[in-house]
Amino acid sequence: MKRSTTAKGYLLNTVVLAVAFIAFLALQNVMGKSGGFKLILAPCLWQCCYLIVLAASLNLVLGFLGQLSLGHCGFMAIGAYTAALLSLACERAGLYDDKSSPVFILILFGCILLAGILAALVGLLVGIPALRLKGDYLAIITLGFGMIIVNIINNLPFCGQDGLAQGSASASLYKNGLGFGTSSKVTFLWFALLVTLICLTMMFMFIRSKYGRAIKAIRDDEIAASASGINTSFYKVFTFAYSAFFAGVAGALYACANATLSTSSFAFANGGILNSTFVVVMVVLGGMGSLTGSGAAAVIMFFVNYQIKNGTWVALLPAAVQSIFAYPMLVYAIILIIVIMFRPKGIFGTYEFSLINLSRDIKLHHTRKAGEKAERKGVETHA
Amino acid sequence: MPETKTPVLETRKLGITFGGLKAVQDFNIQIYQGELMGLIGPNGAGKTTVFNMLTGVYVPTEGTVILNGVPLNGRKTHQFVEAGVARTFQNIRLFKEMSVIDNVKAAFTKDVKYNMLDATFRTPNFWKAEREMTKKALELLTIFHLEDKAELLSANLPYGQQRKLEIARALATNMKVLLLDEPAAGMNPTETAELLECINTIRDRFGIAILLIEHDMSLVMNVCERILVIDYGQTIAAGLPEEIAQNPKVIAAYLGE
Amino acid sequence: MSTFIQTLIVGLRLGSIYALIALGYTMVYGIIRLINFAHGDFIMVGGYTMIFTIPLILAAGLPAWLSVIFAIAVCALVGMGTELIAYRPVRKKGTGMTALITAIAMSLFLENLAQAIPAIGPNPKVASQIFSAGGISIAGVTMEWATVLTIVVGAAVMVVLYQFTQRTRIGRAMRCVSEDKEAATLMGINVNRTIVLTFAIGSGLSAIAALMYMAQYPKVYTTMGTLLGLKAFVAAVLGGIGIIPGAMPGGLVIGLVESFTTSYVSSSMADTFVFLILIVVLILKPAGILGKNVGEKV
């Protein structure tokens, strides 16, 4: 039974997604007034949205191109600050009156797009050393780039305090043109979901095309890829830039959800969720080479992070164990170690979820598991 | 038989020196369209080094590589492929995490005419190009009797079929000259005979020139029209199979004096 | 002029510390082709060990620096443990990518574990003075004994290590394994044991580096290893990764660059400059000062 990848599948997906979206909007209309939704669920959904885009974007480089890039925080930061400052500029220039006007939506869209583009341009720069370097060295260089980018932002006067002309360097940005409050977060939730969907779709289209095949070939054997006529330099740099674009978009979504921006949030490995390592954990957990996995892992890690920070059950733990949860990075490091050592493929391996193939995939999975079990039994009786 | 006067692939005084070691010296070859030529020599003679120079993996320190009259020196590997030289590898280099058909499709990348916009918005242009590519890929796989294995992971193919897949992938680049590096290595006589048949089919069907490195003498003598022998990086004999088989220098190189 | 001499001395001091750390990096990389991200954190382990053992040593009436013996032991154990528990299993069934990710994970694990353990805790601890104060005078600037010792120890360790790898059987075994694992096995070398030993030595070295570091920068904190390790890695690459004699020139260059940038440009740019060096080296001559380019066999 061949796996269907045709237009029929796309049609099914589009219909289901449209229905789900409308259902969600209807539900939100009903639930949106409740405090629980406003205060807890909406912010959580926002966070899930940008984490999903973040994880999927890194997977392009890490899972599909096969390069370890540890500087993702830099692109996020660029995206966040660009979106925040651009919208601030629009606000100060009086381009819109309040957040409910249709002009604002246009501006919002524009800011996010530009945030992504700027991040992509920087991604190009980072991709160029990637042409000459492999594995370990590339990882360190990207780490360095991430550090340098954030350091530069920190030293820019218009990125701190009140921002732009009224700004000063080395300070958190308190005036954010986006930074939605609790009610705005609810009203614009559809936007976050839509952007996430669009990003995921774009990345999926990229993977299921000659581009995806080319970079997977480069990942598997770069010399053979060259020998097959693939311009490895082009595809490497392009993928870095494309991945950076989405990281920038994710950063912009973050700027929407947070009124204050601080460069200390973007690092290689601080205790928060915007650091390069957290993204790596998400990608590895979900499966390097599966966008579905990245999405799932993002939600899982969000949940883990949420429980660590806010879980009421943490207070019930013995003090020694509790101190572990005071350092979320420790938990993430442990998760990473466990996944890498016991299931390096991650949850989904290279599997991509597909509605139209769902029943077939489930059946195949069961047959394969049963086959493996029988094989093991057979080996044991023969041995 | 060489029919055209201008060779498809030609080298003039091609050579490369690593450190102080002259790995290949004064290598001159002319391959004509539709010709099946063999490059033989004892282990370490420099045959793969020659291949690497002919495909841009190594940059020669002397001499030129000329394809259809155009010198190719200094270009990158993928540009060599775009010009029309494709190769297989001594140790099979497949894209292990990709399916059989994707391995072949990957080699079509340079010829597939759609851009990011087409891909992102799934325009009719995209679908048409993908459909054509799938069709061509399946055709190539069918030549090697691999079409029913198209969706399998390439790493799961048995060895002999992996070798064939590598050749199919090279063919996908639409090359004018195909360089095969020990295609029969590790094959039993049945598989070798099958391979021979495939090589002849390819040559007849696509009208390309083929240069073969091989140790299996039966394959070389049976299928090659001309043979070039190198030892220690230098050409020691060139000519028809019958001549080569009786050439004392060749015999000495292989058996030792 | 005195600023220049002062900067020079600081550079040499920093450089020798980086060289000591780089030696460990380079040894391990040479043998398993993996950047041990956790190496910098071994220094942190060594530092904290000494924080806890110096009071005991002093109480026994012995000089403070003898606590380095404990540190070497602990660091070696931690290093061997990391290799046995984390790196070896992943090396066996994983790819280069998974090995690298494991190394990063181990580094983060060590750092954050240290932060989480209350006795060690997130706040920095200060060590008492290890070497006597005072020093030699050069052109009106005092070069502390600690600095002199650091440079001397750094050079001495490097010489000893180099002789060790050249002259002793174990040292030769290490070089064999780093060249070709399979051939080494065929020669009867126990590859796994050699690797563990290399880790032990490399990590033990980081304890000595910790001692020299603490002698001049008595503050110890859980994240001290990260930046130190990163810069020492740049030093190792600069000198030629996998090449022991390269660690010294590499370390000294990085130390001097950092010192002079801090003095004459600004301290916040120092790290950026060091990274820029890395980028330039990796693009122009990835094999480093003393290295040879070895391409991939096709």
| pLDDT, tens digit, 9 for 90 and up, residues A337-356 | 999 888 888 888 888 877 77
Give pLDDT tens digits for B33-67: 889 999 988 888 888 899 999 998 889 999 999 99
Task: Look at residue A194 and tell me if it is in a domain.
Answer: yes
Between residues A301 and B221, which one has the greater pLDDT? A301
pLDDT band at C223 (very low <50, low <70, confident <90, very high): confident
What is the pLDDT at residue A216? Answer: 96
**Which residues of B fall below an 8 Å CB-CB distance to A?**
55, 57, 76-78, 81-82, 86-87, 89, 93-98, 102-103, 105-112, 114, 116, 119-122, 126-127, 130, 133, 151, 169-170, 172-173
- Alpha carbons A137 and C230: distance in angstroms, whole number: 12
Assess contact for A305 and A328: CB atoms under 8 A: yes
In a domain, C173, yes or no: yes
Alpha carbon of A202: minimum distance to chain B alpha carbons (Å):
6
What is the arithmetic mean of pLDDT over C199-211? 90
Lowest mean pLDDT among A104-108, A141-145, A179-183, C20-24: A179-183
For A302, the token pair is 């969000």
- Give the mean model confidence (pLDDT) for residues B70-76: 88
Which tens digits make up the pLDDT trace of A193-232?
999 999 999 999 999 999 999 999 999 999 999 999 999 9
Q: Which of C98, C268, C278 sits opposite A141 (nearest CB)?
A: C278
How many Å is the Cα radius of gyration of chain A? 22
Q: How many residues does chain C have?
A: 298
- The average confidence (pLDDT) of chain C is 84
State the smallest CA–CA distance between residue C75 and chain A in angstroms: 20
Residue C244 lies in domain: 2-284
B116-120: average pLDDT: 89
> Which residue, C234, C254, C258, C236, is CA-closest to C245?
C236
Query: What phi and psi, each to the nearest 5 degrees, are found at residue A31?
Result: -85, -20
Q: What pLDDT is attached to residue A225?
A: 95
Percent of all residues in chain C with a pLDDT value above 70, rounded to a whole number: 93
Residues of chain C contacting B89 with CB distance shorter than 8 Å: 298
Higher-scoring residue by pLDDT: A303, A380? A303
Per-residue pLDDT of C230-258, as tens digits, reads 888 889 989 988 888 888 899 999 999 88
Q: Tell whether B29 is covered by a domain.
A: yes
In 3-state terms, what secondary structure has residue B231? strand
Spatial separation of the C-alpha atoms in residues C118 and C98, rounded to whole Å? 31
Domain range spanning residue A116? 32-269
| Burial B183-203, CB ≥16 within 10 A → b, else e | bbbebeeebbebbbebbeebb
Cβ–Cβ under 8 Å, residues A5 and A208:
yes
Q: Which residues in chain B have their CB less than 8 angstroms from residue C298's CB?
A: 48, 52, 57, 89
Q: Is residue C298 part of a domain?
A: no
What pLDDT does residue B134 have? 94
Report the chain B residue with the minimal C-alpha distance to residue A200: B120
Q: How far is CA B178 from CA B84, B144, B201, B207, C242, in A?
A: 8, 16, 13, 11, 40
Answer whether residue A310 is part of any domain.
no
Cross-chain residue pair C97–A135, CB shorter than 8 Å: yes
Residue B211 near residue B177, CB atoms below 8 Å? yes
Q: What's the domain count of chain B?
A: 1
pLDDT tens across C34-44, in order?
A: 888 889 899 99
Cross-strand bridge partners of residue B85: B177
Residue A336 domain-assigned (yes or no): no
- Band (B99; pLDDT cuts 50, 70, 90): very high
Q: Per the domain annotation, does B123 fall within a domain? A: no
Residues of chain B positioned with their CB less than 8 A from the CB of A207:
none
Asked if the model's pLDDT at residue B216 lies above 80, the reply is: no
**B25-31 long-range Cβ contacts below 8 angstroms, 24+ apart:** B25/B233, B25/B234, B26/B63, B26/B234, B26/B235, B27/B63, B27/B230, B27/B233, B27/B235, B28/B235, B29/B211, B29/B228, B31/B7, B31/B177, B31/B209, B31/B211
Cα–Cα dist B123/B117, whole Å: 8
Which residue, among A228, A238, A242, would best test binding to B if mutated, counting the most B CBs under 10 Å from its CB? A228
- Residue B95's pLDDT is 95
* Residue-level pLDDT at C151: 83
Q: Does the pLDDT of residue C115 top 90, yes or no?
A: no
B127, part of any domain: no
Interface contact A357, partner B, CB < 8 A: no
For residue C76, tell me if it sits in a domain: yes
The nearest alpha carbon in chain A to B87 belongs to A227
A336 in reach of chain C (CB within 8 A):
yes
Contacts of C108 in chain A (CB under 8 A): 269, 277, 329-330, 332-333, 336
Residue A28 predicted with pLDDT over 80: no
Chain length of chain A: 383
Q: What is the pLDDT of residue B209?
A: 93
Is the residue at C290 inside a domain? Answer: no
**Residue A4: pLDDT over 90:** no
Please tell me the distance from the alpha carbon of residue B59 to that of residue B39, in angstroms, as a whole number: 20
C61 conformational bin, left if phi > 0, alpha if psi -120 to 50, beta if neither:
left
pLDDT of residue B257: 45
Decide if A70 and C104 are in contact by the 8 Å CB cutoff.
yes
Q: Give the burial string for A18-45 (b: 16+ CB within 10 Å, else e).
A: eeeeeeeeeebeeebeeeebbeebbbeb
Q: What total number of domains does chain C contain?
A: 1
pLDDT of residue C125 exceeding 50, the answer is: yes
Distance in Å, alpha carbon of B242 to nearest chain A alpha carbon:
33
Domain assignment of residue C247, yes or no:
yes
| Backbone φ/ψ region at A289: left (φ over 0), alpha (ψ -120 to 50), beta | left
Write the residue in A213, A220, A350 that is nearest to B109 by C-beta: A213
Rg, chain B, Cα only: 19
Whether B95 sits inside 8 A of A214 (CB atoms) is no
Report percent pLDDT > 70 for chain A: 93
Reported as a single tens digit per residue, the pLDDT across C127-186 is 777 776 666 666 666 777 778 888 888 889 888 988 888 888 888 888 888 888 888 888
Q: Quote the mean pLDDT of chain A.
A: 85
pLDDT digits (tens, 9 = 90+) for C174-202: 888 888 888 888 888 888 888 899 899 98
For residue B126, tell me if it sits in a domain: no
What is the rounded CA–CA span in Å between residue A116 and residue A252? 8
Residues of A in contact with C36 (CB under 8 A): none
Q: Do A205 and B106 touch (CB under 8 A)?
A: no
- What was the pLDDT predicted at C190? 86
What residues of C are in the B interface, CB distance below 8 Å?
A: 298
Domain annotation covers residue B174: yes
Q: Is B184 within 8 Å of B214 (Cβ atoms)?
A: yes
A324 located within any domain: no
Q: How many cross-chain Cβ pairs, B to C, lie less than 8 Å apart? A: 4
**Which of C97, C115, C278 is the closest to A144 by Cβ?**
C278
Phi, psi of A67 (to 5 degrees): -115, 135
What is the CA B19 to chain-centroid distance, rounded?
27
CB-based contact (8 Å) between A125 and chain C? no
Q: How much is the average pLDDT of A107-122?
A: 94
Structure tokens at C200: 């032990």
Under DSSP, is residue B134 helix (H, G, I), strand (E, B) or coil?
helix
Dihedral of CA atoms B247, B252, B254, B256 in degrees, nearest 10, equals 170
Q: What are phi and psi of A334, to 5 degrees?
A: -65, -45
Cα(A245)–Cα(A78) distance, rounded to whole angstroms? 10
Q: With cut-offs at 50, 70 and 90, classify the pLDDT of residue A287.
A: very high
Average pLDDT in the C2-23 region?
86
pLDDT at C46 exceeding the cut of 60: yes
**CATH number for the domain harbouring residue B36:** 3.40.50.300
Residue B227: give the domain boundaries. 9-94+159-255
Total domains present in chain A: 1
Q: Residue B61 domain-assigned?
A: yes
| Backbone angles phi and psi of A221, in degrees to 5 | -165, 100
Nearest CB neighbour to C97, from listed A66, A132, A133: A66
Q: d(Cα A38, Cα B49) in Å, to the nearest integer?
A: 68
Q: Quick one: which H or E segment has residue B171?
A: helix B159-171
In a domain, A363, yes or no: no
Residues of B with CB under 8 A from a CB of C: 48, 52, 57, 89
* Partner C contacted by A223 (CB < 8 A): yes
CATH number of the domain that C109 lies in? 1.10.3470
Domain assignment of residue A362, yes or no: no
Over residues A261-282, the mean pLDDT reads 83
Q: How many angstroms away from the CA of C64 is the closest CA of chain B? A: 52
